[in-house]
Structure 1
């Protein structure tokens, strides 16, 4: 082949081995840097186009909840922009309204709009309902670590209070932790048990009794007190700080005079009715669930929380009679999935090299394929890092499927070069000739495979959210395999057989 005809990427790579090796090493460095920083998760980041608003109104009948809470919420939230469906449910003391949007809708914008509508609906809700809560459906908010805290000597109320007030604060310091939720145990509750007969004998009603207790349980600002040198703010402390403070409340009578609260009611220092029961090996316990931030690494968050728990045990933060035991660890499943797919990819690459050796009967040509596979994988990881993807079942599955495509182009290029070199031609000349003959065919076949994948990237809906990273990984693998087959493979073929 004449020098004037040696144009294009293939011939440049053959005649510039140092430049080709330098570029390959650069791809390796970038691939390692971006690949090691890829977040590891079980599944791709999927945010359903759905927003939910919920309101709690303890002790209220479902029909009353529907009339007083659910319907006002539906009326306001139905005007949310781009909402295509609204559903609701009412149960005892709880109401929920779900807003559904088309796939592709900016859920964050929809959440802000729905929050505005929810604020407008608050005026139509009963005064004593709990504040409404609104959130978007995000599978990444599923707890990544759950563990139980138990003690053979301490009661459930103390365990829950200690987990909420002390342990949760320590775990929130771990990078990537979004929330720490405590379930089970007992919540302290001060009950005022009214005697109906005595209440009626004094001519009082329950609402009057409730209003008086609420009025007494208030801290009131006392204004400023100034002197020549300083100025201080004052307040009257009216908040109840003990059961004795509640017992000292006096109720004014309509006929004049007052009556002690203890004369018409009993004050009980007890616990709220338990709706959630947590048991560890049949014994009462408290569950602590840790959720990560949307962009955080599941494995890193779980490892960080485990390190904090180990440090707290070692430093004596946990009382001697309090123990913790992990009951669910998402990082375990992520590691198992990543390890399984990674091992499958390694076995696939090794088998591809064995097949090349059996057909070409050349250890040096097998080494070329062996170098092409990791370079292609690192190039693919670099593109995944630039695209903001994560290592999960879908992307690793695409990488494993792409390994076969990674070696297809390299084998075609290598076999044709080998055919020319076995004829006794000069190694470099045979490399130029063999690479030139199949370069266009390799490029055409690769682009044909890519063209077959591209339409699937244009689909919408839930399938697009789930399979997008799988398809992108396959597309990256196809592109990188073409680049390696047109550069590294012919360059090594020419240099190793000179």
Structure 2
């Protein structure tokens, strides 16, 4: 079979050259379309279920949230195993699927199962799916440089403007905010006054919820004009919260201000983000979507940052803390220079040792064609251009050249033997 292929190739050299040129051009476009990253994504094919129930201890979280979810999620198809972690106020469940399972199919199966489990969970608890990213999806970290704004104002800008702007970028799964204070109204109750007015904490909570609502009426027509009736009952200030009635006692309303105090404060935090010892900062983490091109997503996010910066308050700007794009570029440049240097050195060695330009050219021309064709396989198996894959290509150049040298030397040897036999026949023939 091999002899027939070689024989056919020798008899149809121009067809072989055309096929090799077409393969090289196809591989060239494959190089341009191949996703680029610094490191290979070796994370597991997992779906994360996050549940928040603040104020509860780890044991209570384990008994009433983690255990019911884990026992029901174990029966999903193509699941390898389920891991869980219960901590103060939060539950994390990691469902690990088989490697060949599509991640979005797996997320749909988890959502279907969660819809049946939610009835067995405590009231007000709602499990959520984590972002459709991987363990190496954190591609860019940034902070807001706003020396004239306090941490609460910076966090409000991050949560209500910057986050929504960057989440629209193609390939971004989530913008995770960090640092600063999340503003909230806090009601501090006096237990002695609650006892005096015969009230419970639940009565105050129910009063606040009932008075922070907006309801609609119906359409009212008068003089051939239609009016839509609605009431606006959203709380807008601390004074409105203080004046909420909790109980009617002998014709006198007991307000929240009578049993406690209302103040504007920040949500309880479990940590802070400090940069270079200059103080606390507010920012976000860009999480890349599963299977996206890291380099392309980073460029799109940076372009969106330039656009979003025009709407920031005066004196506020972006400060990129971690950018994987720089690592990607440095890694690719290093491997690229190594490939070029190796190709040059190997070509010179082949020319020197063979000392026959046609034989050397037949070997050297295999290098770019083989490298270009290898990217076709990388795209076929969804493998990105990273340190590992490009290093493997660089190491394979020696094998490619070695095979070419062996075949060329073998062909040269047989041709020399045939030429010697032909010369001997010419001498033995009578004149």
TM-score, structure 2 as length reference = 0.86
Q: Aligned match of 2:236 in 234, 241, 244?
A: 241
Task: State how far apart, in whole Å, the 1-side matches of 2:131 and 2:100 are.
Answer: 14
Task: State how far apart, in whole Å, the 2-side matches of 1:232 and 1:218 are.
Answer: 21
Task: State how far apart, in whole Å, the 2-side matches of 1:230 and 1:419 are.
Answer: 103
Alignment correspondent of 2:390:
396
Task: State how far apart, in whole Å, the 1-side matches of 2:269 and 2:84 are.
Answer: 26
Alignment correspondent of 2:166:
171
User: In structure 2, do the counterparts of structure 1 residues 241 and 405 end up closer, same or farther at CA, with 3 Å as the change threshold?
Assistant: same
Alignment correspondent of 2:288:
292
The offset of 1:255, in angstroms, is 5.5
SS at match of 1:60: coil
Q: Aligned match of 1:182 in 177, 187, 194?
A: 177
Task: State how far apart, in whole Å, the 2-side matches of 1:16 and 1:228 are.
Answer: 92
Task: State how far apart, in whole Å, the 2-side matches of 1:23 and 1:85 are.
Answer: 48
Alignment correspondent of 1:366:
360
Is 2:143 the counterpart of 1:145? no
Is 2:38 the counterpart of 1:70? no
Task: State how far apart, in whole Å, the 1-side matches of 2:176 and 2:335 are.
Answer: 33
Alignment correspondent of 2:76:
80
The offset of 1:420, in angstroms, is 5.3
Task: State how far apart, in whole Å, the 2-side matches of 1:231 and 1:163 are.
Answer: 41
Q: Aligned match of 1:342 in 336, 341, 345?
A: 336
User: In structure 2, do the counterparts of structure 1 residues 19 and 237 end up closer, same or farther at CA, with 3 Å as the change threshold?
Assistant: same
Task: State how far apart, in whole Å, the 1-side matches of 2:134 and 2:127 are.
Answer: 21
For the 8 Å contact 2:367–2:397, the answer to whether it is kept is yes
Alignment correspondent of 1:333:
327
Task: State how far apart, in whole Å, the 1-side matches of 2:347 and 2:380 are.
Answer: 29
- My pick for the range that moved more, 187-196 or 337-346, is 337-346
Q: Following superposition, which runs of at least 4 residues in structure 1 exceed 6 angstroms of deviation? A: none
Deviations 1:146-168 (A, max 9, x none): 11112221101111111222222
For the 8 Å contact 2:43–2:136, the answer to whether it is kept is no
SS at match of 2:268: coil
Task: State how far apart, in whole Å, the 2-side matches of 1:227 and 1:421 are.
Answer: 107
Task: State how far apart, in whole Å, the 1-side matches of 2:342 and 2:312 are.
Answer: 48
Superposed, 1:12-91 pairs within 5 Å as 12-46=8-42, 48-83=44-79, 85-91=81-87
User: In structure 2, do the counterparts of structure 1 residues 76 and 405 end up closer, same or farther at CA, with 3 Å as the change threshold?
Assistant: same
Alignment correspondent of 2:402:
408
Is 2:152 the counterpart of 1:157? yes
- My pick for the range that moved more, 7-16 or 182-191, is 7-16
The offset of 1:422, in angstroms, is 5.8
SS at match of 1:275: coil
User: In structure 2, do the counterparts of structure 1 residues 43 and 416 end up closer, same or farther at CA, with 3 Å as the change threshold?
Assistant: same
Deviations 1:178-223 (A, max 9, x none): 2222111111010111111112111111111111111111111213
User: In structure 2, do the counterparts of structure 1 residues 176 and 66 end up closer, same or farther at CA, with 3 Å as the change threshold?
Assistant: closer
Unaligned runs of 5+ in 2: 423-431
Task: State how far apart, in whole Å, the 2-side matches of 1:308 and 1:110 are.
Answer: 31
The offset of 1:45, in angstroms, is 4.3
Unaligned runs of 5+ in 1: 1-6, 430-498
For the 8 Å contact 2:347–2:360, the answer to whether it is kept is yes
Deviations 1:107-139 (A, max 9, x none): 54443333223222222222233x212348853
Alignment correspondent of 1:446:
none
Alpha-carbon RMSD across the aligned residues, in angstroms, is 3.0
TM-score, structure 1 as length reference = 0.76
